[in-house]
Amino acid sequence: MTELITEQPAPQTQPMLETERLLLRPFGLSDAKEVQRLCGDFAVADSTLNIPHPYPDGAAEEFISKQSTKYEKGDGVVFAITLKSDGRLIGGMGLDVKRPFHRAEIGYWIAQSFWNQGYATEAGQAVVAFGFNHWSLHKITGSYFRRNPASGCVMRKLGMVQEGLLRDHITKWDRLEDVVVCGLIKT
């Protein structure tokens, strides 16, 4: 059996994470209009579980205003992914934490004009490290629609391995979706 090692407690307020090209910071209400514009892109919403389309007015504000409480309760974290070079918001990434199981599920999106430049992978490496080091997680899982190979590629590049294929598992906009489940165990 693997021993769970408790490391540093998570900071009281959500920290920022810095990578080579990115600054991951908490979302603020001033991001809401840009979140609505970027997530309002059908191509972004189409392969996610929860982003609605069209993206309704007020939804971004509602989502953002819940984040600090969620973090403070230890239920999860969401980072705005921004470019260090000019501060531009290009995506979001988060962990939903299941504390009794020392486990979290990762989720993310990147604005379409920034796809295939390694940003999701770069942000993911920082978020995964944050989850393991500051939250004493033992495992991080992720899942993606089988028709979304880019997300599968990101998960593999994060070191995740496929643990299952759930056939016709989700109905998204009246279409049944096969879901691939991946996991990464802290070693």
Ligand X SMILES: CC(C)(COP(=O)(O)OP(=O)(O)OC[C@H]1O[C@@H](n2cnc3c(N)ncnc32)[C@H](O)[C@@H]1OP(=O)(O)O)[C@@H](O)C(=O)NCCC(=O)NCCS
User: Would you tell me which residues interact with ligand X (CB under 6 A)?
Assistant: 44, 47-48, 108-110, 115-121, 144, 148-151, 153-154
Which one, 10 or 182, has the nearer CB to ligand X?
182
- Minimal distance in Å, beta carbon 108 to ligand X? 5
* Secondary structure letter of residue 110 according to DSSP: E
Name the helix (H) or strand (E) containing 38: helix 32-39
- Minimal distance in Å, beta carbon 7 to ligand X? 27
* Cβ 181 vs Cβ 149: under 8 Å: no
Which one, 44 or 80, has the nearer CB to ligand X?
44
- The two tokens of residue 16 are 């920022």
Q: Please choose, from the candidates 24, 13, 132, the residue with its C-alpha nearest in 3D space to the C-alpha of residue 70.
A: 13
- Minimal distance in Å, beta carbon 58 to ligand X? 21
Cα–Cα distance for residue pair 36/38, rounded to 1 Å: 6
Which one, 68 or 125, has the nearer CB to ligand X?
125
Number of residues assigned to the chain: 187
Which one, 73 or 167, has the nearer CB to ligand X?
167
- Minimal distance in Å, beta carbon 78 to ligand X? 14
Strands 139-145 and 22-25: unpaired
- Amino acid at residue number 126: A
Q: Provide the β-strand partners of residue 95.
A: 77, 106
- The two tokens of residue 118 are 């390694």
Which one, 44 or 78, has the nearer CB to ligand X?
44
Which one, 54 or 118, has the nearer CB to ligand X?
118
- Minimal distance in Å, beta carbon 12 to ligand X? 29
* Cβ 186 vs Cβ 160: under 8 Å: no
- Minimal distance in Å, beta carbon 38 to ligand X? 9
